């Protein structure tokens, strides 16, 4: 019997050779500086971080350079291979956030670059946030972002091409009208020149779900997390109070542990 590959893992395995090209315009250095500053304002004191869905390492390398002891995990082995090449000393694990083991007790747990948007059900979201809490030290802060309706109305509804060296990437957004809890799809076509001058093409299917603020808050509470800050993010790492679905590209959440209830039990909320 052939077991089908997980579609999220398969999508990112296909995208891995071109991920850094596709995201070349993202200012991760500035973004992680702002995230760290806000997390410290909310009380973290140590310098250990778990980066969930770390991808090729772009979301943890700035923290590594800032002196953090970094652990990373991702569902895609191909993405982890590229992260390991950038940061050979970092502990990296292949793991699905929907079944996240306890890697330790970390001062900061991050899950960035709209990774949670790939979770399509409330149960999956609660389980993932529970896994994040499982790895969060008392007094620590968890940080995650989700895409807004504005992003699904624009980036997921348009076609664009980016290139670098022998790689070019065509992003083909397929989303319809933006609406709360919608599912949005994009297909990423990756073209790479092989030895001898021939071109190789791989396609990565990306499916995401919109998560309204009230569902994020309910899932966090069910997972044993208390949201301590919610910010809207404009392009260019402009952070503003109170996320707005029509004005901001992302909503950025900071959460602390609730020390009673919501831990590792299996009482999931339902749609």
List of domains in the chain: 7-147+212-257 (3.40.50.150), 151-209 (2.20.25)
Q: Round to whole Å and give the CA distance between 153 and 18.
A: 24
Question: Which tokens go with 261?
Answer: 């209830």
**Whether the Cβ atoms of residue 249 and residue 148 lie closer than 8 Å to each other:** yes
Residue 193: what pLDDT? 87
Residue 3: what pLDDT? 43
Q: Round to whole Å and give the CA distance between 183 and 202.
A: 23
Length of the chain: 271
pTM of the model: 0.93
Question: Which tokens go with 73?
Answer: 């995990």
Residue 260: what pLDDT? 65
Residue 268: what pLDDT? 37
**Whether the Cβ atoms of residue 173 and residue 115 lie closer than 8 Å to each other:** no
Q: What is the mean pLDDT of each run of 10 residues along the chain (271 residues)?
A: 73 95 95 98 96 98 98 98 97 98 98 98 98 98 98 96 90 95 97 87 96 98 98 96 97 92 41 30
CA 43 distance to own-chain centroid: 23
Residue 144: what pLDDT? 98
Phi, psi of 57 (to 5 degrees): 100, 0
Q: Round to whole Å and give the CA distance between 105 and 34.
A: 22
**C-alpha torsion angle, residues 219, 102, 99, 126 (rounded to 10):** 0
Greatest Cα pair distance, the chain, in angstroms, is: 62
Residue 142: what pLDDT? 98
């Amino acid at each position: 019997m052939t077991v089908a590959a997980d579609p999220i893992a398969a999508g990112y395995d296909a995208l891995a050779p071109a991920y850094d090209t596709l995201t070349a315009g993202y200012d991760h250095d500035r973004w992680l500086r702002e995230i760290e500053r806000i997390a410290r304002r909310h009380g973290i004191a140590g310098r250990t971080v778990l980066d969930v869905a770390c991808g090729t390492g772009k979301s943890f390398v700035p923290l590594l350079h800032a002196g953090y002891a970094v652990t990373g995990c991702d569902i895609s082995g191909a993405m982890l291979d590229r992260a390991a090449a950038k940061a050979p000393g970092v502990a990296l694990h292949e793991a699905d956030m929907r079944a996240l083991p306890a890697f330790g007790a970390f001062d900061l747990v991050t899950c960035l670059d709209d990774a949670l948007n790939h979770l399509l059900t409330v149960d999956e979201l609660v389980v993932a946030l529970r896994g994040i809490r499982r790895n969060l030290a008392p007094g620590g802060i968890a940080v995650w972002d989700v895409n807004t309706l504005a992003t699904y109305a624009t980036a997921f509804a348009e076609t664009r091409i980016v290139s670098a060296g022998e790689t070019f990437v065509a992003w083909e957004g397929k989303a319809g009208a933006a609406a709360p809890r919608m599912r949005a799809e994009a297909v990423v076509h990756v073209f790479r020149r092989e030895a001898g001058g021939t071109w190789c093409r791989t396609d990565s299917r990306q499916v995401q779900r919109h998560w309204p603020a009230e569902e994020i808050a309910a899932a966090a509470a069910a997972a044993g997390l208390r949201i301590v800050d919610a910010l809207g993010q404009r392009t260019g790492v402009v952070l503003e109070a109170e996320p707005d679905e029509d004005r901001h590209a992302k909503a950025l959440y900071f959460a602390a542990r609730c020390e009673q209830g919501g831990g590792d039990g299996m009482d999931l909320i339902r749609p």
